[in-house]
Structure 1
Amino acid sequence: MSLLETHNLTAHYGDFQALFGVDITLEEAETVAIIGANGAGKTTLMRSIAGVLRNAAEAVTYDGRPVGAQPADEIMAQGVAMVPEGRKLFPSLSVEENLLIGTYGRKKSGHWTLNTVYDLFPILRERRNSPGTALSGGQQQMVAIGRALMSNPRVLLCDEISLGLAPVVIKDIYAAVPAIKAAGASLVVVEQDIAQAMAVADRVYCMMEGRITLSGTPESLSREAIHDAYFGAAA
């Protein structure tokens, strides 16, 4: 039994269908990358898993339980946290206050506290009293990741965490992944950067137009197969 699964998952925005029968799995202590171009359905998939978009109960299972129909706060309380695209920090709150938001609704304690988040991202300790939106883009992303970790999740959903950041900053962000996994979290990482996704993931799914077009381990997928799955095979 996988830790997280989707089963024939669909999603709609009004009359527009964004996902078509998506099946993915996430195992314990695994990092899965979801790649694809803009509009492929990656963020919709993450929002569906997190409960932001509701679905049939059996369309998403977590730890063997159907959770597809549950709201986001209930799913988060069970151990699934999301780092949203665009970070979504509260501009009126300090760095530390933004981090503490992540503890609301948490049912049990665990590895992640303010101190362990500050150990993971030392710059945040220095900036703890600064407004969250006064930080650089990379530092804001660290706050968003830390906020999600404060709920001590078993599953961490990371939606486009490298978007708009300089390569050296992206390297620093992804350097935290081993420590996050060592503390007990499994990760689903949405990435447009194929090379970064292949470097961090145990398995990769490629999406195009709301469907899974390719899956496998980074070692098993050729550059040509990924290109065709990402952009569509040439006629």
Structure 2
Amino acid sequence: MSEGEPLLAVEALTAHYGDFQALFGVDLHLDPGGCVAIIGANGAGKTTLMRTIAGILRAGAGRVLLDGAEIQRLAAPEVLRHGVAMVPEGRKLFPSLSVEENLLIGAHERKGDGRWNLETIYDLFPILRERRRNPGTALSGGQQQMVAIGRALMSNPRVLLCDEISLGLAPVVIRDIYAAVPRIRESGTAIVVVEQDIGQALKIADYVYCMMEGRVTLSGRPSDLSREAIHDAYFGVSHDLA
């Protein structure tokens, strides 16, 4: 993917839910400050991959390396302390806490004096400053997603894992959320985003991985991938002749 050493490397990774194998030898590389998109239909293994990288789901075989150091055996809090934060699918805000209190939860494992704090989060998403005293779950879906992203950024992560951040949101809201991606990258944070919207993924990513049934079926730079190749990898279409 690049000539230099990746910030995050996934090598031949497997994962299971009980006896069910969900990942089969997955490889992924993320450059410092880069953005990788993972696309695929429901059940492709995208969320499983993110949860395994984040330490929420225990890895089977294979490795997850951050700056060359293995982290696949670490529990989720330790992975976070090493600089990998996750924005989970469904946002999972604390309903009893205000917007600002939800954001401050993310600072509990803050790494150093990085760029991200309440003021820079409010600059990134100005509507949250206006709603900072509101209960987190009293906001619109898009605003809740902004809180979830801001909460993850408050730990000043080196890698931000974003799982289905556009799911169920209106196009105008998706546009506003993705407009923040360049500013997040400018801060030095690299991003892995799971996205079912192929067009959106191709717009924001330096590199794209397509998954199906727990395997990577296609990968490459957006400019090198044809729509036909992506479609075939996404849906498992084969043109092999009998």
The TM tier, using the shorter chain, reads: over 0.9
Q: Distance in 1 between matches of 2:56 and 2:121?
A: 25
1:37 counterpart = 2:41: yes
Counterpart contact for 1:102–1:149, Cα < 8 Å: yes
Q: Equivalent residues in 2 for 1:8-87 (5 A)? A: 8-55=12-59, 59-87=63-91
Q: Equivalent residues in 2 for 1:33-182 (5 A)? A: 33-55=37-59, 59-182=63-186
Q: Distance in 2 between matches of 1:105 and 1:221?
A: 38
Which AA in structure 2 matches 1:179? R
**Superimposed CA distance per residue, residues 82-124 of structure 1 (whole angstroms, 9 cap, x where no aligned partner):** 0000000000000000000001122312100000000000000
Call closer, same or farther: CA 1:99–1:145 in 2, change over 3 Å: same
Counterpart contact for 1:57–1:67, Cα < 8 Å: no
Q: Distance in 2 between matches of 1:58 and 1:3?
A: 17
Q: Distance in 2 between matches of 1:107 and 1:142?
A: 21
Counterpart contact for 2:88–2:163, Cα < 8 Å: yes
CA RMSD across the alignment:
1.1
Q: Secondary structure at the match of 1:165?
A: coil
Report the alpha carbon displacement of residue 54 of structure 1 after superposing the two structures with TM.
1.7
Counterpart contact for 1:58–1:67, Cα < 8 Å: no
Alignment size in residue pairs: 235
Normalised by the size of structure 1, how large is the TM-score? 0.98
1:186 counterpart (174, 183, 190): 190
Normalised by the size of structure 2, how large is the TM-score? 0.95
Counterpart contact for 1:57–1:70, Cα < 8 Å: no
Q: Distance in 1 between matches of 2:164 and 2:62?
A: 27
Unaligned 5+ segments in structure 2 are none
Call closer, same or farther: CA 1:163–1:143 in 2, change over 3 Å: same
1:202 counterpart (197, 200, 206): 206
Report the alpha carbon displacement of residue 181 of structure 1 after superposing the two structures with TM.
0.4
Amino-acid identity (%) = 73
Q: Distance in 2 between matches of 1:51 and 1:193?
A: 26
